[in-house]
Structure 1
């Protein structure tokens, strides 16, 4: 009975740790404690920067008060331009009060979220931090003639080395961040793809008519996985062999009807729906992450995310190294089976391009676990049970 109580106590402690890690911080609640930051807090939420801040494990937020916010609000910027400007105030490293005054050589440069999301070019999204005479600290944007335009006032909240929220005297700006930003409806996806080295994928988007579906989805949120021109070129013979319906489905399979930042992809595993998902036709794939690397597993191929081509919420475009092949069209690969050493008869075509094309064949090894929820839950339970056993043994 005593052992059972120990195990129960360990389980409670473990669950507390699990939930603590999954909810590391909440920038909205931190800033809500002081009404003088209500405007800054409001626009972090309106631009969805708050969600991005909360997902990151290490972050510094340079907050400005309501009076300072008026300097940019009076200029009539669009919400998307305000997002770019406020992105300069989110540093992707930890700088607490102590670290500010221990900067090597008195000055350092660090990337802001404006730089890390690919919205900035060159070094225009880097922020200079300088420990000047008298123990004062100043901030400036490298794209703004390296001028130190804002000074450190006080620390609002610090949780080393997780999150630091610092009060600075005025808004950080740069010509690039303040440049007019197109609204989602003005973003022409095919043009973006063609300019970013994805012309081949853009061409098949237009040839199937799927570009209209992608474009109509942008306003509500769209994530696009664009295979490189090399990958599309190698795949074209197989693509040409598909029926018109399967060509369209395969292209739609490369889009998700929701905005998913790279940090969001890195922070969660599991099956996701695509623009091709409809009724009983799942057309999903599994997002997996290993540290900084993100892969997309379809049961037929595994593609790697190579980089971000465009990130302007609600649209984000990634480049991937392979064409995504859905199991509804191609035979799934049996992961546990070894490839035969030799074969006299090779299949003429792996394409299930016929009446049964919307479903995998009986001998295909396909996971069907409610969009990955079961496997994800089992993984979490395994971790929890392991921790419980360790705690239980320790307490005995």
Structure 2
């Protein structure tokens, strides 16, 4: 089992070295701006920070602590996540671009549009140059008002990430009652098989570790799944010769009980806890 661990760990570590160059970390950036500490905290609580960090080109419309306090005091975390995801634009907008919008107005896609819970234009934001140095923001739903406006630039890393402060939250009609994402009904083995990891999926089922994976879903789960080709590689030991306990440890080692997309992995320096961390072998991923 040790040889198999080293093989996968070496491959994974080398991959991190290659992809870490272009990463950004939104929470680390905002730590230098105490006026947005509440916003920054909720990016972590809602796990939106992880999703933001996976994007190569993005604009975050941030709210100061006063605006965030008013927002979060009225709504549960699931609604706050929906609202904040509407403030993450999947394009790069710096102050110069805001004032050079073609025809003076544009609709831009947000992170909320990617959730699958945004019918019509619910996941889009209307950006309008109001002239005189003012830029308005509002829902792209027809008839919506521009209830927010550009206040100031916070930070730009051209053309990777831009952080702009706006005056008030953008509240799209229906977003306050939109359903929160649910982990129930997620078919882990189906997703693995579709991704070319049928052998790994089969091992999860036969060993009983699938139930462990499923029980971790609500709090977040990241699976480091070897492809079918990886199991055929030279030097990989015969897993059928492992005891059941060894198979369980091996499979638990390939999952972290937390949601860790690529953006987070790019910037992670500390050992990553796995489902095997608290087991007999106490295996962390490094």
Query: What TM-score results when the alignment is normalised by the length of structure 1?
Result: 0.47
- Partner residue, 1:258: 258
Alpha-carbon spacing, 1:148–1:202, altered in 2? closer, same or farther (3 Å): farther
Q: Distance in 2 between matches of 1:281 and 1:66?
A: 40
Any unmatched runs of 5+ in structure 1?
A: 1-18, 285-370, 372-396
Any unmatched runs of 5+ in structure 2?
A: 1-20, 233-237
Instruction: Note the C-alpha offset of 1:45.
Output: 4.5
- Partner residue, 1:64: 63
- Partner residue, 2:149: 152
Q: Is the partner of 1:258 in helix, strand or coil?
A: coil
Alpha-carbon spacing, 1:128–1:244, altered in 2? closer, same or farther (3 Å): farther
Work out which structure has the larger RCO, using CA pairs closer than 8 Å and 6 or more positions apart in sequence: 2
Q: Distance in 2 between matches of 1:194 and 1:215?
A: 8
Tell whether the 8 Å contact from 1:252 to 1:276 is kept in structure 2 after alignment: yes
Tell whether the 8 Å contact from 1:95 to 1:164 is kept in structure 2 after alignment: yes
- Partner residue, 1:98: 96
- Partner residue, 1:193: 187
Alpha-carbon spacing, 1:51–1:271, altered in 2? closer, same or farther (3 Å): closer
| Superposed CA offset, 1:115-173 (max 9, x none) | 45x5655764333322245554222344x447343332421424352543333232123
Q: Is the partner of 2:75 in helix, strand or coil?
A: coil
After TM superposition, the structure 1 = structure 2 runs for residues 1-396 of structure 1, keeping only pairs within 5 Å, are: 26-30=29-33, 32=34, 34=35, 39-49=38-48, 58-65=57-64, 68-69=67-68, 72-77=71-76, 79-115=77-113, 118=115, 120=117, 124-132=122-130, 136-142=134-140, 144-145=141-142, 147-159=144-156, 161=158, 163-174=161-172, 175=174, 178-181=177-180, 187-188=183-184, 191-193=185-187, 197=191, 205-218=204-217, 221-225=220-224, 245=244, 248-249=248-249, 251-267=251-267, 274-276=274-276, 371=286
Alpha-carbon spacing, 1:226–1:105, altered in 2? closer, same or farther (3 Å): farther
Q: Distance in 2 between matches of 1:54 and 1:27?
A: 13
Tell whether the 8 Å contact from 1:96 to 1:160 is kept in structure 2 after alignment: no
Query: What TM-score results when the alignment is normalised by the length of structure 2?
Result: 0.61
Tell whether the 8 Å contact from 2:50 to 2:263 is kept in structure 1 after alignment: no
Q: Is the partner of 1:260 in helix, strand or coil?
A: coil
Q: Distance in 2 between matches of 1:71 and 1:270?
A: 35
Alpha-carbon spacing, 1:111–1:267, altered in 2? closer, same or farther (3 Å): farther
Tell whether the 8 Å contact from 1:71 to 1:171 is kept in structure 2 after alignment: no
Alpha-carbon spacing, 1:249–1:147, altered in 2? closer, same or farther (3 Å): same
Tell whether the 8 Å contact from 1:129 to 1:138 is kept in structure 2 after alignment: yes
Q: Is the partner of 1:149 in helix, strand or coil?
A: coil
Q: Is the partner of 1:192 in helix, strand or coil?
A: coil
RMSD of equivalent CA atoms: 4.7
Q: Distance in 1 between matches of 2:243 and 2:263?
A: 35
Greater CA drift, 80-89 or 149-158? 149-158
Tell whether the 8 Å contact from 2:39 to 2:62 is kept in structure 1 after alignment: yes
